[in-house]
Structure 1
Amino acid sequence: MNPPWLRNPPSSPWILFVPLFFPHPPFEVEQPWFSMYQREAIALPNSASGPQPRFLSELIREHGWDNLSEAQWREIKAVYFGMISRLDSHVGRLMDANTSKNTITAFFADHGEYLGDYGAIEKWPSGVNECLVRIPLLISGPGLASGTKSNALIELIDVFPTLLELAGIDRARQHTHFGRSFVACLADPAREHRHEVFTEGGFTTEEVKRLHTAPYPYDLKSTLPRRVPTSAGKVVAIRNREWTYVWRLYEGAELYNRIDDPQELNNLFGQVQYASIESELRERLLRWLVETADVLPDQLGARRPDVELPRPGQWHP
Structure 2
Amino acid sequence: MSTRPNFLILMPDQLRADALGAFGNPPGDPSGEPRYLRAVREAHGLDKVTPEQWREVVATYYGMVSRLDDQIGRITGAVEQAGADDNTVTLFFADHGEYLGDHGVIEKWPSAMHDCVTRDPLIISGAGLGEGGQERDAMVEMVDVLPTVLDLAGVPAPHRHFGRSLLPLLRDPAAPHRELAFTQGGFTIEGEPQMEHADFPYDLKAALQHQDPTLVGKAVAVRDREWTYVWRLYEQPELYHRAEDSHERTNLAGRPDHAEVERRLHDAVLRWLVETSDIIPADPAPRRPDVALPAPAAPAQS
Please report the TM-score for the alignment, with normalisation by the length of structure 2. Answer: 0.84
SS state at 2:194 partner:
coil
Q: Which position in structure 1 is the counterpart of 2:59?
A: 78
Matches within 5 A, 1:123-142: 123-142=108-127
Q: Which position in structure 2 is the counterpart of 1:65?
A: 46
SS state at 1:245 partner:
strand
Matches within 5 A, 1:169-180: 169-171=155-157, 174-180=158-164
State the alpha-carbon separation in 2 of the partners of residues 191 and 137 from structure 1. Answer: 18
Matches within 5 A, 1:275-314: 275-302=259-286, 305-306=287-288
Following TM superposition, by how much is the alpha carbon of 1:75 offset from its aligned partner in structure 2, in angstroms? 0.7
State the alpha-carbon separation in 2 of the partners of residues 167 and 145 from structure 1. Answer: 17
1:96 aligns with 2:77: yes
SS state at 1:44 partner:
helix
SS state at 2:277 partner:
coil
SS state at 1:215 partner:
coil
State the alpha-carbon separation in 2 of the partners of residues 106 and 233 from structure 1. Answer: 32
1:143 aligns with 2:128: yes
Change (3 A) 1:308 1:290: farther
SS state at 2:65 partner:
helix
Q: Which position in structure 1 is the counterpart of 2:3?
A: none
Q: Is the 8 A contact 1:103 1:141 kept in 2?
A: yes
Q: Which position in structure 1 is the counterpart of 2:204?
A: 220
Amino acid in the other structure paired with 1:136: P
Q: Which position in structure 2 is the counterpart of 1:312?
A: none
Q: Which has the larger displacement, 262-271 or 246-255?
A: 262-271
RMSD of equivalent CA atoms: 2.1
Amino acid in the other structure paired with 2:47: D
Q: Which position in structure 1 is the counterpart of 2:230?
A: 246
Runs of 4 or more consecutive aligned structure 1 residues displaced over 4 Å after TM superposition: none
Following TM superposition, by how much is the alpha carbon of 1:143 offset from its aligned partner in structure 2, in angstroms? 3.0
Following TM superposition, by how much is the alpha carbon of 1:74 offset from its aligned partner in structure 2, in angstroms? 0.5
Q: Which position in structure 2 is the counterpart of 1:52?
A: 33
Q: Which position in structure 2 is the counterpart of 1:157?
A: 143
State the alpha-carbon separation in 1 of the partners of residues 19 and 252 from structure 2. Answer: 29
Which of 113, 121, 134 aligns to 2:98? It is: 113
Following TM superposition, by how much is the alpha carbon of 1:149 offset from its aligned partner in structure 2, in angstroms? 0.5
Following TM superposition, by how much is the alpha carbon of 1:175 offset from its aligned partner in structure 2, in angstroms? 3.8
Amino acid in the other structure paired with 1:160: L
SS state at 2:129 partner:
coil
State the alpha-carbon separation in 2 of the partners of residues 197 and 301 from structure 1. Answer: 32
Following TM superposition, by how much is the alpha carbon of 1:121 offset from its aligned partner in structure 2, in angstroms? 0.5
Q: Which position in structure 2 is the counterpart of 1:256?
A: 240
Q: Which position in structure 2 is the counterpart of 1:166?
A: 152
Following TM superposition, by how much is the alpha carbon of 1:216 offset from its aligned partner in structure 2, in angstroms? 1.9
Following TM superposition, by how much is the alpha carbon of 1:192 offset from its aligned partner in structure 2, in angstroms? 4.1
Q: Which position in structure 2 is the counterpart of 1:33?
A: none
Q: Which has the higher contact order (CA 8 A, sep 6+)?
A: 2
Change (3 A) 1:308 1:294: farther
State the alpha-carbon separation in 1 of the partners of residues 19 and 230 from structure 2. Answer: 30
Rg comparison, structure with higher value: 2
Change (3 A) 1:41 1:194: closer
Deviations 1:268-298 (A, max 9, x none): 1111111121111111110000000111110
Q: Which position in structure 1 is the counterpart of 2:195?
A: 211
State the alpha-carbon separation in 2 of the partners of residues 42 and 254 from structure 1. Answer: 22
Q: When the two structures are aligned, how many residues end up with a matched partner?
A: 268
State the alpha-carbon separation in 2 of the partners of residues 282 and 169 from structure 1. Answer: 36
Amino acid in the other structure paired with 1:44: G
Q: Which runs of 5+ in 1 are unaligned?
A: 1-22, 24-36, 310-317
Deviations 1:20-64 (A, max 9, x none): xxx9xxxxxxxxxxxxx9xx9982344423310110000011111
Deviations 1:52-107 (A, max 9, x none): 01100000111111100111111111011101111111121111111212101111
Change (3 A) 1:92 1:301: farther
Q: Which position in structure 2 is the counterpart of 1:269?
A: 253
Change (3 A) 1:308 1:299: farther
Change (3 A) 1:307 1:155: farther
